[in-house]
Amino acid sequence: MVIVMNIKGIFAEYKEKRTNWLYDHMWIKRGLENLFAFLLCTLSALIFAFGFNCCMDLGSFASKALEIEPDLNFQKIASGGVSGISQVVVLFLEVIYEAVNGTGSSKGVFPESLLYSILYFAINVPVLILAWIGIGKRFTVFTLINVLETSLFMKLINCENLGFMQEIAIFIAENGGILSRAILGGVCTGLSCAIAFKIDASTGGIDIIAYYIALKKKTLVGKYSFIMNTITLICFTLLIITKEGWGNPDVVASHVGGAFYSVMYVLISKIIIDTINVRNKKMKVEIVTNRKDLGEFLIESVPHGATMVVGTGVYTGKERYIFTMVVSSYELSHLMKLIKKEDTTAFVQVIPLNSVSGRFYTKPVR
C-alpha cells in the first residue's frame, strides 16, 4: 500500500512539473495542442469516411461492383447536411418546372451536377464566414482541415478500392439490413462529429450552424443538428415523392421507409454527440464543510462564483458552511480534486442541470 502511494505521489509530482514547464514554454504547449487537435481531426475524418462508405451510400457500389439491382438492404440512406439542402433546392426547382410546364419530366433541363456544386459552395461560404466571425478563427481552420481530410478519405477508403471494405459493407447489408446500416452509420457520424467538437472544431456545414446556436444558447449542440437535418430529410422526402408521383404506392412506401431510417440515423448521431461532447453541460455542486475559507479558495481556482449558506448539522448540532457552485461538466473533475485536497471531510453532491440562465462563464472558442 505504501509503495502504491509513493508511486502515485511520484506521478503527481511529475505531472505538476510537466504542467509548470509547459506553461513556462507556451509556444511548445500551443504546438502540442495543435498537433493533438490535428490528429483528432484526422481520426474524425477517418471514422466518418468509414461509416459513410460502409453504411450510407451502397447503391452505386451494389450496381457497379456487385452488378446487382440495389434492394432495400443496399438502398442509400440520406444524411442531410449542406449536400441534403442542395438536393432539396434542386428537387424544388424540378417540381416547380414540371408543375408549370405540365407533367413532362424536367430531366436534362437542369444541369444537376453543376447546380449541386454551385449550391454547395453558395451555402458553405456564408456558413464558414459565420464560423470565422461568430465562433473563432482556430475553429474555422480546423473545420476546413476536417472537411478536406474527409473528402480525401472518402475517395481513398471506399468499397470499390479496398477489398476488406467490400466484405464489411456486404456483411452489414446482408446480415443486418438497412436497420443495422442506419445504426452503425449513426454511431460513426456521431463519433466523428463529437471528436471534432471535442477539439473545438466541426465537420462543416450544418454542424457549424448548430454549434453556433448551442454556444449562444449555452446548451447541447446535438439537438439543433438533429432538428435541422430532420427538416431537410422531410422536405427531401416530400419533394421526391411529389416528383415521382403520390399515386404510386411502391414509390411512396420506398421513400417513406428510407426517410424513417434516415431520421433514425440522424437521431443516433445526435445521441452520440450529446453523450461525448460535454462542453455546454452544466453541473450544480453543493459542498458541506466546516471550513469557511474553502469558498474563497474555490473561486480563486475555478472561473465561477459561489454562494455560501450557514447551516447547522442536525446530528452534531455544529455550524456548517454550504457552498453552491455551477460549473461546466469538463471542470467537475478538477473541482472535485481541489475539494478533496483542501478538505477530506467535505460532503459533496453533484446535480446535472438541463439549462442555466444568467451570467455564466464559458471558455471561449479560439
pLDDT in tens, 63-97: 444 444 444 555 666 667 777 787 788 888 888 87
The reply to whether 305 and 213 lie within a common domain is no
Q: What is the pLDDT of residue 66?
A: 44
pLDDT at 330 over 90: no
Listed range (4-13, 220-229, 261-270) with the worst mean pLDDT? 4-13
What does the block give as the cell for 39? 490528429
Share of the chain above pLDDT 70, in %: 79
The reply to whether 165 and 300 lie within a common domain is no
Query: Is 13 inside a domain boundary?
Result: no
CA–CA distance, 276 with 43 (Å, rounded to integer): 15
The reply to whether 250 and 306 lie within a common domain is no
Averaged pLDDT, 145-164: 78
The reply to whether 192 and 292 lie within a common domain is no
Query: Is 142 inside a domain boundary?
Result: yes
Q: What is the mean pLDDT of the chain?
A: 79
The reply to whether 75 and 121 lie within a common domain is yes
Chain segment 234-248, per-residue pLDDT in tens = 888 888 888 877 877
CA–CA distance, 43 with 26 (Å, rounded to integer): 26
Residue, of 164 and 261, whose pLDDT is higher: 261
Averaged pLDDT, 266-270: 90
Query: Is 110 inside a domain boundary?
Result: yes
Domain final residue pick, 248, 276, 304: 276
The reply to whether 191 and 224 lie within a common domain is yes
Band of pLDDT at residue 11, cut at 50, 70 and 90: low
Q: What is the pLDDT of residue 287?
A: 93
The reply to whether 175 and 290 lie within a common domain is no
Q: In what order do the strands lie in the sheet with 347-353?
A: 307-312, 319-328, 282-289, 347-353
Q: What is the pLDDT of residue 60?
A: 47
Averaged pLDDT, 327-355: 88
Range of the domain at 223: 27-276
pLDDT at 2 over 60: no
Contact 266, 118 (CB under 8 A): no
The reply to whether 163 and 307 lie within a common domain is no
CB burial string 175-192: b at 16+ within 10 A, e below: eebbebbbbbbbbbbbbb
Query: Is 184 inside a domain boundary?
Result: yes
CB burial string 129-147: b at 16+ within 10 A, e below: eebeebbbebbbbbbebbb
The reply to whether 290 and 247 lie within a common domain is no
Give the amino acid at 290. Answer: N
Domain final residue pick, 225, 259, 276: 276
Number of domains in the chain: 2
Domain final residue pick, 229, 248, 276: 276
